Amino acid sequence: MEESLPLSPALAGEAAPERRFRLQDRLFAWLLLLFGYCFWLLFPFLQKPLASALLIAALYAFTFFVPLRGRCRFDLCAKLVFLSAALALLAALIWADRFHAFICFAYLLAAYAYLVLAGTGGTLEGGWSELLGADLLRAWFIFPFSSFGALFPALLLPQGKGFGRTLLKIALGLFLAVLPTWLVLSLLSYDSGFTELLARIFSLRIDDPGMILLRFCFGVPVALYVFGLYFSSVSGKLLREDGARRVRERAERRRILPPLSAAAAVIPLLFVYVLFFLSQWGYYTSAFTGVLPAHLSYAEYARSGFFQLCTVAFVNFLVLLALSRLVRRGRERFMRALCVTLTLFTLLLIATALSKLRLYIAAYGLTPDRVHAAWFMLLLSLLFLLVLIRQFSPRFNAFPIAAALCVAMFLLLALSGSNGWIARRNVERYLRGEAEQIDVYALCDLGDDAVPELLRLDRYLAEKGERDETLRAFLRGRAAEKRDIWSCTLSSLRAGRLLEQAGYMQKESPP
């Protein structure tokens, strides 16, 4: 039997472990070449969400049930990350919002890297610690690139006997069969029935050899990255007993700014905020009272300074982060008072921006941009509250809680199907007479998630004898659009069923 890669951490001063690969490691390496090709075939994972979800799910399943089977030990933090990854995958399969789907798939890949690291014991102090940021840095950058070339020995070194060597020879033969197989497929594609059968089964396009070669070339670095992460994690060559201590020592060495210099940098900023609020108090407090300043419309008032307020809040967050990481120890109470004051000013700015946005939404309805702006400001306010708690409780583990909060807030947004309830809110405002007109173009931009509400609006306009041709053209176009199963989500399947029930799937539009 072939020797397996050592899992126990390598202590300082030990000889580097010899590269020996099990059958599972070699099979994993070969399959990663296929994964790399499929990665670029589906990237950016928007057109074929089901195929993308199956590809990433297959990567998870094969990694943890074949090469890492029985070798992973997940702590509470890793289990929560695994659960969040499952929810992100579910969100990508339910709703048709492509922006949210892209973020979900990106999170799935980022979570995969952390889970490989955590499952093999590569975290510095367990997942739920202040060193979570260092663990993420190791999982995403240090571990993959430290063994970036380990894929090639796993593919080519003549290790192993018997069944393992036989399987390796078979894998090499299948790899060599790619080019002639593609050539035969290209020659036989003159037959429309054969081509249609391939398209129905695999959704293949065999008329672009350049793209096939390009995807394979770009897929190799993807395979190198994933196998490098795996090899570094299981070999333990980057793990040290004193790893956490060394990270903390480096963090302390980065504290180069004297407290008085930091205070001199922050106090002018606070003085500017005091002058700003004194000079604009009546203007900005109008957002809380709901009374517009004279000569301003809702749109002008909400847009005036909104993005500037958001930017200032984000800059303040970076300033506080720099204060926590770069300022030397000492004068703790004074620095804490400065951080608390800056945090309170920022929370007031965020509350003002949210109040302005609330007035704008009440007057003109919801859009994805307005929902995302409100979501971002709410997330920022929660992060600043964590900063505030940290000032009064220095042992409070702010970073892992902040990371969990960001993930939870995104999953809440992605799982809610925001495009659907945006359309429902706007249509209900129009049907109740709260809005004199409705922006059909904006509703159509919401895609399949909005189709139930678009059909509801279409029926209402038909009863009034005021059919909207833009709306009908969108519904007819969506009904005529042919999609394979790989491009579907539950929302798009529901939209197709509702359009069929409404008669839009027929050649003639509904009466």
Residue 32: the pLDDT is 94
Burial of 352 (0-12, 13-18, 19+ CB in 10 A): buried
Per-residue pLDDT tens over the stretch 462-509: 998 888 888 999 999 999 888 888 888 999 999 999 999 988 875 444
Residue 201: the pLDDT is 53
Flag whether 430 is in a domain. Answer: yes
- Closest by Cα among 35, 31, 42 to 211: 42
Better pLDDT: 278 or 192? 278
Q: Please tell me whether residues 333 and 458 are part of one structural domain.
A: no
Whether the per-residue pLDDT at 395 is higher than 60: the answer is: yes
> How many Cβ atoms from other residues are within 10 Å of residue 7's Cβ?
16
**CB contact set of 480 (below 8 Å; sequence gap of 6+):** none
Residue with tokens 């971002």: 376
Flag whether 101 is in a domain. Answer: yes
Distance CA 364, CA 426 (A): 9
Q: Provide the pLDDT confidence category of residue 217 given band limits of 50, 70 and 90.
A: confident
Domain of 268, in residue numbers: 254-416
Q: Please tell me whether residues 286 and 242 are part of one structural domain.
A: no
Flag whether 228 is in a domain. Answer: yes
Of 187, 222, 250, which residue constitutes the final position of a domain?
Answer: 250
Which one of 36-50, 142-156, 363-377, 413-427 scores highest in mean pLDDT? 413-427
Q: What are phi and psi of 163, to 5 degrees?
A: -60, -40
Percent of the chain with pLDDT over 70: 78
Better pLDDT: 396 or 193? 396
Q: Please tell me whether residues 213 and 166 are part of one structural domain.
A: yes
3-state secondary structure 255-305: CCECHHHHHHHHHHHHHHHHHHHHHCHHHHHHHHHCCCCCCCCHHHHHHCC
Q: Please tell me whether residues 139 and 153 are part of one structural domain.
A: yes
Q: Please tell me whether residues 323 and 306 are part of one structural domain.
A: yes
Of 250, 282, 303, which residue constitutes the final position of a domain?
Answer: 250
Residue 208: the pLDDT is 60
**CB contact set of 464 (below 8 Å; sequence gap of 6+):** none
Flag whether 143 is in a domain. Answer: yes
Q: Provide the pLDDT confidence category of residue 204 given band limits of 50, 70 and 90.
A: very low
Flag whether 510 is in a domain. Answer: no
Which one of 146-155, 225-234, 323-332 scores highest in mean pLDDT? 225-234
- C-alpha R_g of the chain: 28
Q: Please tell me whether residues 154 and 210 are part of one structural domain.
A: yes
Q: At what angle do helices 76-94 and 98-119 cross, to 10 degrees?
A: 160
Residue 10: the pLDDT is 39
Per-residue pLDDT tens over the stretch 219-276: 889 999 999 999 999 987 677 666 888 888 888 888 888 888 888 888 888 888 888 7
Percent of the chain with pLDDT over 90: 41
C-alpha pair distances (Å), 80 with each of 105, 138, 247, 337, 406: 17, 19, 24, 35, 13
Whether the per-residue pLDDT at 164 is higher than 50: the answer is: yes
Whether the per-residue pLDDT at 185 is higher than 60: the answer is: yes
Better pLDDT: 235 or 178? 235
Flag whether 2 is in a domain. Answer: no
Average pLDDT, the chain: 83
Q: Please tell me whether residues 405 and 453 are part of one structural domain.
A: no
Residue 508: the pLDDT is 44
Of 416, 440, 462, which residue constitutes the final position of a domain?
Answer: 416
Distance CA 449, CA 52 (A): 19
Domains of the chain: total: 3
Residue with tokens 């539009």: 509
Task: Indicate the pTM of the whole model.
Answer: 0.84
> How many Cβ atoms from other residues are within 10 Å of residue 492's Cβ?
21
Q: Please tell me whether residues 285 and 187 are part of one structural domain.
A: no
Flag whether 1 is in a domain. Answer: no
Flag whether 27 is in a domain. Answer: yes
Residue 216: the pLDDT is 84
Residue 282: the pLDDT is 60
Q: Please tell me whether residues 40 and 70 are part of one structural domain.
A: yes
- Closest by Cα among 459, 455, 453 to 422: 453
Per the structure block, which two tokens stand in for 99? 């922006």
Which one of 16-25, 259-268, 316-325, 440-449 scores highest in mean pLDDT? 440-449
C-alpha pair distances (Å), 487 with each of 48, 96, 107: 4, 10, 20
Whether the per-residue pLDDT at 104 is higher than 80: the answer is: yes
Q: Provide the pLDDT confidence category of residue 165 given band limits of 50, 70 and 90.
A: low
**CB contact set of 195 (below 8 Å; sequence gap of 6+):** 189, 206
SS3 327: strand
Q: Please tell me whether residues 295 and 405 are part of one structural domain.
A: yes
Better pLDDT: 448 or 8? 448
Residue 278: the pLDDT is 76
Distance CA 361, CA 495 (A): 27
Residue 435: the pLDDT is 85
Q: Please tell me whether residues 199 and 69 are part of one structural domain.
A: yes
Residue 4: the pLDDT is 47
Per-residue pLDDT tens over the stretch 76-103: 899 999 999 999 999 999 999 999 999 9
Residue 210: the pLDDT is 67
- Closest by Cα among 21, 65, 63, 33 to 174: 33
Q: Please tell me whether residues 267 and 396 are part of one structural domain.
A: yes
Residue 7: the pLDDT is 45
Q: Provide the pLDDT confidence category of residue 144 given band limits of 50, 70 and 90.
A: very high
